[in-house]
Amino acid sequence: MNLNNYVHHSNGTHIDYANGMLAQLLLALPFFLLLVVYIFAAFISSRRHKQWPIHRTIFWVLGVLCAIAVVIGPLANRAHMDFTAHMMGHLLLGMLAPLLMALAAPMTLVMRTLNVTLARRLSNVLKSWPVRILGDPIVASCLNVGGLWLLYTTDLYAMMQQNVLLHVLVHTHVFLAGYVFTVSMIYVDPMPHRSSFVYRAIVLIVALAGHSILSKYIYAHPPNGVPTEQAEMGGMLMYYGGDVIDAVLIFILCFQWFRATRPRASLAMDQCSKVSN
Amino acid sequence: MGRNDAKIQVLGDRMAVENVNLKNHSNDTTSSSYLARNLWSGFLFGLGLVAFIDEAVFHQLLHWHHFYDKSTTSIGLVSDGLFHAFSWFATVGSLFMLADLRRRNALRLTRWWGGVLLGAGIFQLYDGTIQHKLMRLHQIRYNVHILPYDLTWNILAVVMIVVGATLIIRARSQSQLPRGERSYEPQ
């Protein structure tokens, strides 16, 4: 299988240097734009309204940097040759970057910055039925985990290494599906279509299980063109790295449940004490 | 006059209903839903704890368990993945349930610990019999005579189930006594 890679190289069917650079720039550019636009919006909105929380901006910068580190530079170069590096990229681009970016509440910032007419139009889009379907935890999980199953259990992974367009599409999908999945589970931004905690908890458990099962499957059945040792390392990285990020997701979901189910009596007492103060 | 009286009556009824609701939400710690929640919180925590010890001690520290075993069946892989995700969620979720019971003054520690032992025992027995033996996920340890390991593993599981069940039964008989005669008053 190792040999296969070299054969592709000498034949030139593997993505060549120039095309590789093009793919990297194509993927990195939107993230650079997102970074600039967010910071600009935070600046404008802080001047017009009260200060936009600095920790949200920090989450956004860290999230976008995670994504950029994956799509351009040394990690992106190594990911072509080394499946473990590719898996590291998957964890950062598909899980950590979306989580950090969701915690930055970008939609709230956009709503605050836009004028009322535009903000209303945007909120109408967010309330529309396609967004509702996309944001359902089950649909989001299928797009996210299902996409990974498709990538690693078919020839798609090998094809992606040889076709620039496919490479860009797969990476875009991994990020977007990861983001939609994250915001369908934890509500940081206002969500027009909310589902109950129990529903989200059950879907989250099944989705995490799908992720764990896939990582052990990769360990045992390397995707085409991936050497056994790299598949074993990559599978274990996916399993344990996924666990760490999932733990944060679970913690936030449970914490939101904990806050929402505050006993009513103490809520009333809180308000009484506020009034009397 | 009559109409106003009726209005006041309705208002009074509504307030009474609200008082009852308030009680159910915060004060009545003997209500059966809280008792069940103590048990569930403990049970889920026990399950998560055993899964965590399994992962941290037997996989990572001792390297006795293997990440994957050539004889693993696909149903074993699915069962492992589901239990792995569920136990991860259960550990975190059960501790939030514990915090929730505490802020409502409804925590019953005996019952909670009974739940922990019961959950831990049941999961360990499932892991030791069905996952290790039937689905051949992996063995407790490799290149050794496995029987003593299997026996210790599963007997320990049964002991935890028995002790947990005893604690729960004892906690129940205590909570059924009239208030004044209880030896243990949670606060």
User: In this complex, is the C-beta atom of A236 within 8 Å of any C-beta atom belonging to chain B?
Assistant: yes
- Name the residue ranges covered by the structural domains of chain A: 2-261
Q: How far is CA A190 from CA A45, A178, A179, A184, A215, in A?
A: 18, 18, 15, 11, 33
Residues in A closer than 8 angstroms to B21, CB to CB, are 264
Q: Looking at residue A265, what is its pLDDT?
A: 61
Residues 30-49 of B with CB under 8 A from A: none
Domains in chain B, number? 2
Q: Name the closest residue on chain B to residue A249, using Cα atoms.
A: B89
pLDDT-derived band at B85 (thresholds 50, 70, 90) equals very high
For residue A170, the distance in angstroms to the closest alpha carbon of chain B comes to 25
Contacts of B25 (CB under 8 A, 6+ apart): A263, A264, A265, B104
Q: Are residues B23 and B96 in the same domain?
A: no
- Stretches where chain A sits below pLDDT 50 are 1-12, 276-277
pLDDT-derived band at B154 (thresholds 50, 70, 90) equals confident
Q: Looking at residue B174, what is its pLDDT?
A: 72
Answer with the residue of higher pLDDT: B184 or B77.
Answer: B77
User: What is the model's pTM?
Assistant: 0.82
Q: Looking at residue B26, what is its pLDDT?
A: 46
| ipTM of predicted complex | 0.81
Domain membership of residue B186 (yes or no) is no
Give the tens place of pLDDT for each residue, B116-136: 999 999 998 988 888 777 777
Query: The domain containing residue B1 runs over which residues?
Result: 1-29
Q: Are residues B19 and B36 in the same domain?
A: no
Q: Looking at residue A11, what is its pLDDT?
A: 42
Q: Name the closest residue on chain B to residue A219, using Cα atoms.
A: B68
Q: Looking at residue A273, what is its pLDDT?
A: 54
Q: Are residues B107 and B155 in the same domain?
A: yes
Q: Looking at residue A268, what is its pLDDT?
A: 55
Q: Are residues B18 and B103 in the same domain?
A: no
Answer with the residue of higher pLDDT: A24 or B139.
Answer: A24
User: In this complex, is the C-beta atom of A162 within 8 Å of any C-beta atom belonging to chain B?
Assistant: no
Answer with the residue of higher pLDDT: B25 or A69.
Answer: A69
Residues in A closer than 8 angstroms to B25, CB to CB, are 263-265
Average pLDDT over every residue of B58-79: 78
Domain membership of residue B187 (yes or no) is no
Q: Are residues B9 and B40 in the same domain?
A: no
Give the span between the Cα atoms of A175 and A35, in whole angstroms: 15
Q: Looking at residue B1, what is its pLDDT?
A: 42
Q: Are residues B10 and B56 in the same domain?
A: no
Q: Are residues B62 and B136 in the same domain?
A: yes
pLDDT-derived band at B83 (thresholds 50, 70, 90) equals confident
Q: Looking at residue B28, what is its pLDDT?
A: 57
Interface test with B, best of A200, A212, A245 (most B CBs within 10 A): A212
Domain membership of residue B176 (yes or no) is yes
Q: Are residues B1 and B57 in the same domain?
A: no
Domain membership of residue B102 (yes or no) is yes
Give the span between the Cα atoms of B141 and B128, in whole angstroms: 12
CB atoms A206 and B96 under 8 Å: no
pLDDT at B13 over 50: no
Q: Are residues B6 and B65 in the same domain?
A: no
Q: Looking at residue B5, what is its pLDDT?
A: 52
Q: Are residues B116 and B79 in the same domain?
A: yes
Q: Looking at residue B66, what is its pLDDT?
A: 79
Q: Are residues B147 and B166 in the same domain?
A: yes
Q: Are residues B100 and B52 in the same domain?
A: yes
pLDDT at B183 over 90: no
Q: Looking at residue A8, what is its pLDDT?
A: 41
Q: Looking at residue A1, what is its pLDDT?
A: 37
